[in-house]
């Protein structure tokens, strides 16, 4: 039996096996679904360190992403997810075509999840699950791009990344977009090597699903397409038949994305009609994205960027096209984001899709060190370094014990104690009623809720001749809703702060006389 496994392994052993092989030459006996026999699975689990490490990383990643999943209350964007997910399936599509600047796929999935219940865990379950599944996908990306060592180091960085953990615990589409982009990247890299129709078709399919999850994934998909054109155009000119699988993949993307493409153009025109009222503009978006991808730490960012640059340089030395790949997929999205930051609100979480490229580039830095020392321990050392740098960041240390989002749940409890029946609650700006109403019912508490986002609207409540108390509930979103600053000035002049919850402020009128 052992001899049979050995023969199978020898038959499938790829040429050019890495000298730095953690498996000591063992080759997986599983290459197709038909090879998934108990015997082969046991052989893989008992002989492959890559598989064991990847399983351990995935298990740890699951703990880090599901632990305390309901610790933070829903904040504004997550409450917005609940609002749209509560609509019907057709209603969600109508909301997208009506101006909601997010595609409907994530909302449709959340709509189905709400059939299981309605709480923070239910709403965040899918992002957390996809965040876990992204770990083996990042390994796969690294393996297809270079080798298993790059894959396992990149997977370790992904597992402990505070940035990825944060957005795996948020009921938004960022985790889903990253999952589909990483999956699409796997088949893109395979397609470049094999030019098989199935690989190009899967790249098109998964890229389309990423687009249906989050519009901004189109940026990285576009960068991948431009890269493919750059490295393959001469081959296509010499042999036009080699272009057929590519066109099938493009057709798969176009067919699946067609209903959304026209909507995207309309929404883009609408969104860019006025300047951004929040976000980061210009070069700042590049620096802040790297900082957040590096665990929200300037020191770790410096070290990660150093390793990333070393990885890119070594990629050029190994294969010019690999260096171009890492550089193009980093530079192009940043150039586009720089330009768009003056047109639409731009924040680093939109660029979470850069994580696979960033971590693969960092992982590649192990190679020049291995070339000097020729020890397989280098792979473990680089993994350990990335893990230590990630888990010792202030953000990670405090993440599971301190709120990272506005505490609407706690604030609603305070308001239930403070407000009496008939009191007036004015939310500034009005759309913060979404997270507040998730935890606080005006009907149950017999209070009245209104929204305001201008000095004039606030003044109308200040002129009320009523014996009931008026509370102004304010968040930093007022700066985006009223960039003129009129609302803030009115509040400073006519109200006083009586209590504050991190990120949420409560004011009452200053009574004359």
* Chain mean position to CA 308: 20
Alpha helices in 341-451 (DSSP H): 355-363, 366-373, 377-391, 394-399, 408-418, 433-439, 442-445
What does DSSP assign to residue 474? Answer: E
Q: What are the DSSP calls for 136-175, one per residue?
A: HHHHHHHHHHT-HHHHHHHHHHHHH-HHHHHHHTSSSSHH
* Spatial contact of 474 and 406, defined as CB atoms under 8 Å apart: no
Tell me how far apart the alpha carbons of residues 338 and 341 are, in angstroms, rounded to a whole number. 5
Tell me how far apart the alpha carbons of residues 226 and 374 are, in angstroms, rounded to a whole number. 37
Tell me how far apart the alpha carbons of residues 62 and 146 are, in angstroms, rounded to a whole number. 26
Q: List 425's β-bridge partners, or say none.
A: 449, 471
Q: Characterize the bridge pairing of strands 448-451 and 470-475.
A: unpaired
The crossing angle, in degrees rounded to 10, of helices 76-85 and 89-97 is 120
> Rounded to the nearest 5 degrees, what angle is found at the Cα of 475, between the Cα atoms of 471 and 481?
105
* Spatial contact of 281 and 342, defined as CB atoms under 8 Å apart: yes
In order of their start, the domains of the chain are: 48-399 (no CATH), 408-509 (3.40.1010)
In this prediction the pTM is 0.93
Q: Over its length of 513 residues, how does the chain's per-residue pLDDT go in tens digits?
A: 444 444 444 444 443 345 789 988 888 888 888 888 888 889 888 999 999 999 999 999 999 999 999 999 999 999 999 999 999 999 999 998 887 789 999 999 999 999 999 999 999 999 999 999 999 999 999 999 999 999 999 999 999 999 999 999 999 999 999 999 999 999 999 999 999 999 999 999 999 999 999 999 999 999 999 999 999 999 998 998 999 999 999 999 999 999 998 888 888 887 777 778 788 999 999 999 999 999 999 999 999 999 999 999 999 999 999 999 999 999 999 999 999 999 988 999 999 999 999 999 999 999 999 999 989 999 999 999 999 999 999 999 999 999 999 999 999 999 999 999 999 999 999 999 999 999 999 999 999 999 998 999 998 886 765 678 899 999 999 988 898 899 999 999 999 987 678 889 999 988 754
Beta-carbon neighbour count of residue 294 at 10 Å? 26
Q: Residue 87 half-sphere exposure, CB side, CA atoms within 13 Å? A: 16
For residues 94, 109, 88, 75, the Cα torsion angle rounded to the nearest 10 degrees is -80
pLDDT score of 18 = 54
Tell me how far apart the alpha carbons of residues 141 and 329 are, in angstroms, rounded to a whole number. 14
Cα–Cα separations (whole angstroms), residue 160 to 89, 123, 296: 35, 22, 13
Q: What are the DSSP calls for 29-76, one per residue?
A: S-SSGGG--HHHHHHHHHH-HHHHHHHHHHHHHHHHHHTTTTSSPP-H
């Amino acid at each position: 039996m052992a001899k049979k496994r050995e023969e199978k392994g020898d038959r499938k052993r790829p040429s050019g096996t890495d000298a730095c092989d953690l498996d000591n030459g063992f080759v997986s006996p599983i290459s197709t679904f038909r090879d998934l026999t108990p015997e082969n699975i046991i052989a893989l689990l008992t002989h492959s360190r890559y598989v064991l490490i990847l399983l351990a990383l995935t298990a740890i990643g699951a703990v880090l992403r599901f632990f305390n999943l309901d610790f933070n209350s829903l904040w504004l964007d997550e409450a917005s997810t609940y609002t749209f997910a509560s609509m019907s399936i057709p209603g969600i599509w109508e909301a997208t075509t009506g101006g909601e600047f997010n595609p409907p796929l994530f909302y449709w999935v959340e709509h189905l999840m709400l059939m299981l219940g309605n709480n923070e865990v239910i709403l965040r379950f899918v992002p957390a699950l996809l965040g876990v599944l992204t770990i083996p996908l990042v390994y796969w990306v690294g393996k297809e791009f270079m080798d298993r060592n790059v894959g396992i180091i990149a997977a370790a960085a992904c597992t402990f990344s505070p940035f990825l953990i944060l957005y795996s615990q948020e009921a938004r589409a960022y985790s889903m977009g990253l999952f589909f982009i990483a999956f699409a990247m796997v088949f893109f890299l395979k397609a470049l090597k094999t030019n098989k129709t199935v690989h190009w078709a899967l790249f098109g399919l998964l890229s389309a699903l990423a687009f249906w999850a989050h519009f901004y994934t189109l940026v990285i998909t576009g960068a991948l397409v431009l890269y493919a054109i750059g490295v393959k155009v001469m081959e296509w000119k010499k042999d036009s038949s080699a272009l057929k699988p590519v066109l099938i993949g493009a057709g798969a993307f176009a067919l699946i994305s067609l209903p959304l493409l026209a909507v995207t153009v309309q929404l883009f025109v609408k969104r860019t009609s006025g300047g951004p009222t929040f976000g980061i503009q210009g070069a700042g978006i590049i620096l802040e994205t790297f900082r957040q991808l590096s665990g929200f730490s300037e020191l770790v960012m410096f070290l990660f960027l150093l390793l990333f640059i070393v990885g890119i340089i070594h990629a050029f030395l190994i294969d010019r096209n690999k260096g171009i790949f890492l550089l193009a997929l980093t530079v192009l999205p940043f150039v586009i984001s720089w330009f768009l930051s003056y047109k639409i609100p731009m924040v680093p979480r939109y660029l979470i899709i850069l994580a696979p490229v960033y971590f693969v580039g960092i992982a590649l830095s192990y190679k020049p060190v291995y070339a000097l020392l020729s020890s397989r321990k280098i792979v473990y050392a680089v993994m350990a370094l990335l893990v230590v740098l990630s888990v010792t960041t202030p953000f990670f240390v405090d993440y599971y014990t301190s709120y990272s989002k506005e505490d609407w749940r706690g604030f609603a409890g305070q308001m239930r104690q403070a407000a009496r029946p008939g009191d007036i609650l004015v939310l500034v700006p009005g759309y913060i009623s979404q997270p507040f109403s998730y935890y606080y019912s005006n009907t149950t508490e017999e209070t009245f809720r209104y929204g305001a986002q201008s000095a004039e609207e606030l003044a109308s409540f200040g002129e009320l001749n009523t014996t009931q108390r008026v509370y102004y509930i304010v968040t930093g979103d007022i700066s985006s809703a009223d960039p003129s600053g009129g609302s803030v000035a009115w509040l400073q002049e006519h109200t006083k702060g009586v209590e504050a919850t991190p990120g949420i402020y409560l004011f009452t009128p200053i009574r004359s006389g």
